[in-house]
Amino acid sequence: MKNKKMKIARLERDLNQEDLAKIVGVTRQTISLIESGAYNPSLKLCIAICKALGKTLDDLFWEVEK
Amino acid sequence: MKNKKMKIARLERDLNQEDLAKIVGVTRQTISLIESGAYNPSLKLCIAICKALGKTLDDLFWEVEK
DNA sequence: GCGGTATGTAAAATATATTTGACATTCTGC
DNA sequence: GCAGAATGTCAAATATATTTTACATACCGC
């Protein structure tokens, strides 16, 4: 279950994974693994990513589809 | 930074910490520590809690106040 | 086709969330 | 006031997110 919404929001802001990683204070791999759905980030990290991308938790991490 | 919103949502549903813990599949201590702000839960756990309480991520875990 | 940039991924090490078990405190009904 | 239920918290153990280092691949302009 990839996180496509997060990837789209990142691209909308013209950021690559490394840029975003630097902004939120993690490594590029962590961003990559979250986008590819390989692991579940902590709430703090989710919030940092949302703020960096100008989105909310529901925007990026809430699954509408059942 | 306690999570008051989560505690209120839990009480609205007439659940104690142990009930909620059982529903989302963690221990009572984990719920207690999250409500008291002692640590940052994983996204998966946040979503499980939201669904158990009939709320969304923004409802329970998004900080409006700066 | 080549070189550089962006991304996926793997293994080992580290940090931290979560569990387990236990005890102390608070609250409430009686 | 007491008994029981709900909660706070601690220490040690375990699971897992995250880092570090590194390599492979895909893509794009040239």
DSSP B14-59: T--HHHHHHHHTS-HHHHHHHHTTSS--BHHHHHHHHHHHT--HHH
At the top level of CATH, the class of A4-61 is mainly alpha
Residue B47 has pLDDT above 60, yes or no: yes
Q: Which residues touch strand D (CB under 7 A)?
A: A 25-27, 29-30, 33-34, 39-42, 45; B 16-18, 28-29, 32-33, 35-36, 38, 42, 44
Optimal mutation site among B34, B39, B43, B64, interface A, most CBs of chain A within 10 A? B43
What percent of chain B has pLDDT above 70? 94
Domain range B4-60, its CATH number among 1.10.260.40, 3.30.420.40, 3.40.190.10, 3.40.50.1100: 1.10.260.40
pTM of the model: 0.89
Q: If you average pLDDT over residues A3-12, what whole number do you get?
A: 92
